[in-house]
Homo-oligomer: A and B are copies of this chain.
Amino acid sequence: MFSLAEENYLKAIYHLESKHKGAVSTNAIAEVMDTKPSSVTDMVQKLADKKVLSYVKYKGTSLTDEGRKTAANVIRKHRLWEVFLVDKLKFHWDEVHDIAEQLEHVHSEELIARLDKFLGFPDFDPHGDPIPDKNGNVKPTEKKLLSELNKKQHGVCVGVKESNSDFLQYLDKKNITIGTKISVLGKEFFDGSMVIQVGRDQFFISKKIAENLYIQTN
């Protein structure tokens, strides 16, 4: 069993590894954890003792298989709770992070299994990020930006890239939410604008909007 602090470190290192490949530096961890490098060194040494990461002085750290699995499980919980908050409690996509940050540390396998079922075994969280399975595996995702689609292609909205209140309200107005099917009817190459179909409605969207919506093509 890992403490709240340990879980947060593992999660942070997991995310850093997926961005810049290679060993993760102490300073990088300190930055995302909003803490001091000296504190990171202490914790990283402790986690190395626990075999969830390998650590070479002055060289950085990388997760072991067990560490990666543990981290993925915390992320799984975080994202499932986010789905709950948005789908069931009707929070907006951009309001749920801090609450999920707390909920992700509740320990109960059974709870997460039942929550997963209750939510209909979702594959993506409200930001379009994939939800790892119980073993920590992440389905290779087909997620792309709407702006990457071409005429006649279609997919399902799985999230937003950067969410702000105005944008979310726009989506509400247009009846676009997680799971909404979107088809590209036309695309202008000189400005990247599109005409799309959502439900029975067809309308124009700017490149800026198309670049902010994640679509799963399948």
Q: How far is the CA of A65 from the CA of B215 in the complex (A)?
A: 52
Total copies of this chain within the assembly: 2
Complex partner residue of A99 from B99, B102, B111, CB under 8 angstroms: B111
Interface window among A42-50, A86-94, A127-135: A86-94
Binary flags per residue of A112-131, CB closer than 8 Å to B gives 1, else 0? 00110010000000000000
Interface of A toward B, CB cutoff 8 Å: 85, 88-91, 95, 98-99, 102-103, 106-108, 110-111, 114-115, 118
Complex partner residue of A91 from B89, B103, B114, CB under 8 angstroms: B114
Complex partner residue of A89 from B95, B106, B114, CB under 8 angstroms: B114
Docked-complex contact B115 and A89, CB < 8 angstroms: yes
Docked-complex contact B114 and A106, CB < 8 angstroms: no
- 7 chain-A/chain-B pairs, Cβ below 8 angstroms: A89-B111, A89-B114, A89-B115, A90-B114, A98-B108, A99-B111, A102-B108
> A115: shortest Cβ distance to chain B, in Å?
6
Docked-complex contact A106 and B102, CB < 8 angstroms: yes
Chain B residues within an 8 Å CB radius of A95: 110
Q: Which 6 A-B pairs have the closest CB atoms?
A: A89-B114, A102-B106, A99-B108, A99-B111, A89-B118, A103-B106
